Structure 1
Amino acid sequence: MTIREACMQASSFLRAAGVEDDASSAEWLLEHVLGCTRSELFMRWGEPFPGELRDRWRAMLERRAAGEPVQYITGEQPFYGLTFRVTPDVLIPRPETELLVERIVELGSKRWPGGSPLVADIGCGSGAISVALAAACSSWNITATDISRDALDVARENAVRNGVGERLKLFHGDLLEVYVRERMPIDILVSNPPYIETGDIPGLQPEVRLHEPVLALDGGPDGLRFYRRIVEQVDLLPAPPALVGFEVGQGQADFVAELIRAAGHWDEIGIVPDLAGIARHVIGLRKN
């Protein structure tokens, strides 16, 4: 059996199991098991599939056929040009969150040119946002919090593997509580909090509902619990952050924008669409 034939058979097997992205899943898993890139995979298309890898390959395909996300099977997910380790303790970083990182880098660099603003990534999960910001902005002071110690372990590993382990400070705690307790002045607050309505969780895709952590998904009865709590806690800080950025669920942007507008700390409120045109991020900026 050639590598090409193994890929075709795998795609057919996954399709028969009801996996919608059967072809891409087969290719991604094949790249991982062979330890090669996509272009290298095609160059090796006609080679025999290594016999010593067949059991491992079969086990990975069975996990995908059962609905487990590819990222948890391989343990990796690319994000913002970096590679992140992911486990069932953290959400899988999504491409749309890269747009939030881009906007924070853009606005923060203009507001603090050559400066060292203190950044707080609230509910950091895998550390995708905070690690990406640390990699992109070497002079910034990056911190992050999560209520899950297991998630913080993953974030710490990702900081080290992406070369920013000594620059990312991680805190265990609920939202802003550590910053409030320690009277830490935050310049930039960024968060991709849980925003799925509790009643919608049973209807999520099995890949999400059965494998990603509910703690990182459940945003309360209307999905907006954590936005309210974060904005409330901002009033307990020494001063409100000059820049805030939130990722939101579909249909939530207007409410979150009004929430931070009503707080009265930010002069400019903007909504950023994702590549599908969905209002995905809400940004608040104080001019002075």
Structure 2
Amino acid sequence: MSTPAEAKPDSDAWTIGRLLNWTTDFFQQRGLDSPRLEAEVLLAHCRGCQRILLYTAFDEPASEELREKFRGLVRERAAGKPFAYLVGKREFYSLDFEVTPDVLIPRPETELLVVALLDHARGQGRAKDPLTIADVGTGSGILAVCAAKYLKASLVTAIDISPKALAVAERNAAKHQVAERIEFVESDLFAAVKPSETFDFIVSNPPYITTAELAELDKTVRDFEPMLALDGGAEGTTVVERLIAEAATRLRPGGVLMMEISPMIASRVEKLVDDSPLELLETLKDLEGHARIVQAQNGEHAMKGGQVAKGEST
């Protein structure tokens, strides 16, 4: 099937409205979940306007330049490239973040990690010293930026092994005006972080997909998102196991580690915590009731607000 810019009618016949209608049908035939919405957002992106303004220009002829640009995005989307990479952004926790193929696309499930961090921070009740927070595997910087933005008295260390990912995170921090309270460190977990540096909180969305599961992922994920941020090894815990061990030496007394994990490996991750010097806290569940955030604490103090100490049921 040809795309709009390849069609034979005179270019004057290709109005904004006709482009939208044609592309909606094209996406629908390819099984996209929200064909009209995606067509609108892509076309608004190409025009550099708000989506609603497309309807005030419904009968406006689409220029050859616009059609050419739009055609490229339509083709990429039809081939499976994630929508967020095409428009270069994704909303997370009510903020817009730049995303590129060098970073994972933020998922709604990860917002639970922000909620957990904010809940623990409120329980601290400290008035003087700033909270110290490490975001391990920061990617686009969503966790580091949210921590700095919503916890004004905090100092954040954003860590990633990928320099390209760190560059995206730095741009997002600057965009949301929190860069002055975030230190960006290129590091494999804590390897390049000063040995003396410890933290009140460590948050992470580490790679946790098992190698076998990677082959079964939707191609929009498997073929486009960075494998380094997805592949958790044979058991899904290759990075998680190292993170737990390193966090045990990096958390201050009473400090908390919070990790997003797959529900399918929750019991394995909890066992890794049980076998470590850390205390297992309550594993938080997502809106569908699946285990999503494994939490662990350095010290014998149970957390406030209904958190559960090691050995209690969840």
Is the 1:3–1:44 contact (alpha carbons within 8 Å) kept by the matching residues of 2? Answer: no
Is residue 81–residue 224 contact of structure 2 (8 Å, CA) maintained in 1?
yes
The answer to whether the aligner puts 1:123 opposite 2:137 as a matched pair is yes
Could you list the runs of 5+ residues in structure 2 that have no partner in the other structure? Answer: 1-13, 303-314
Number of the residue aligned with 2:164:
150
Q: Relative to 1, partners in 2 of residues 1:155 and 1:276: Cα closer, same or farther, differing over 3 Å?
A: same
Runs of 4+ in 1 over 6 A off after TM superposition: none
Partner of 1:177: 191
Tell me whether 1:159 sits opposite 2:173 in the alignment.
yes
Query: Partner of 1:80 in structure 2?
Result: 93
Is 1:215 aligned to residue 228 of structure 2?
A: yes
Aligned counterparts of 2:61 and 2:273: Cα–Cα separation in 1 = 56
Task: Tell me how far 1:148 sits from its aligned partner.
Answer: 0.7
1:98 and 2:107 are equivalent in the alignment = no
Q: Label 1:135 to 1:238 Cα distance change in 2 as closer, same or farther (>3 A).
A: closer
Query: What RMSD, in angstroms, separates the aligned Cα atoms of the two structures?
Result: 2.2
Residue 193 of structure 1 corresponds to 206
Partner in structure 2 of residue 272 of structure 1 = 284
- Mark the runs of 5 or more structure 1 residues left unpaired by the alignment: none
Q: Secondary structure at the match of 1:263?
A: coil
Native 8 Å contact 2:102 2:164 kept in 1: yes
Decide which structure has the larger Cα Rg and report it.
2
**Could you say what secondary structure the match of 2:283 adopts?**
strand
CA shift in 2, pair 1:177/1:16, >3 Å: same
- TM-score normalised over the length of structure 1: 0.90
Q: Any idea what SS the aligned residue of 1:182 has?
A: coil
Distance in 1 separating the partners of 2:55 and 2:149 = 32
Provide the identity percentage.
Answer: 35
Alignment correspondent of 2:256: 243
1:28 and 2:38 correspond: no
8 Å CA contact 1:240–1:265 kept in 2: the answer is no
Letter in 1 for 2:140: S
Corresponding residue of 2:74: 61
Contact persistence 2:190–2:246 (CA under 8 A): yes
2:282 aligned partner, one-letter code = G
Q: Could you tell me which amino acid in structure 2 is paired with residue 34 of structure 1?
A: R
- Equivalent position amino acid for 2:167 in 1: D
CA contact (8 A) 1:76 1:85 kept: yes
Cα deviations by residue, 1:88-116 (Å, 9 ceiling, x for unpaired): 11100111111110121121122144451
Q: 1:33 and 1:258, CA in 2 relative to 1: closer, same or farther beyond 3 A?
A: same
Q: Is this contact kept in 1: 2:98–2:140, CA < 8 A?
A: yes
Q: Is the 8 A contact 1:69 1:211 kept in 2?
A: yes
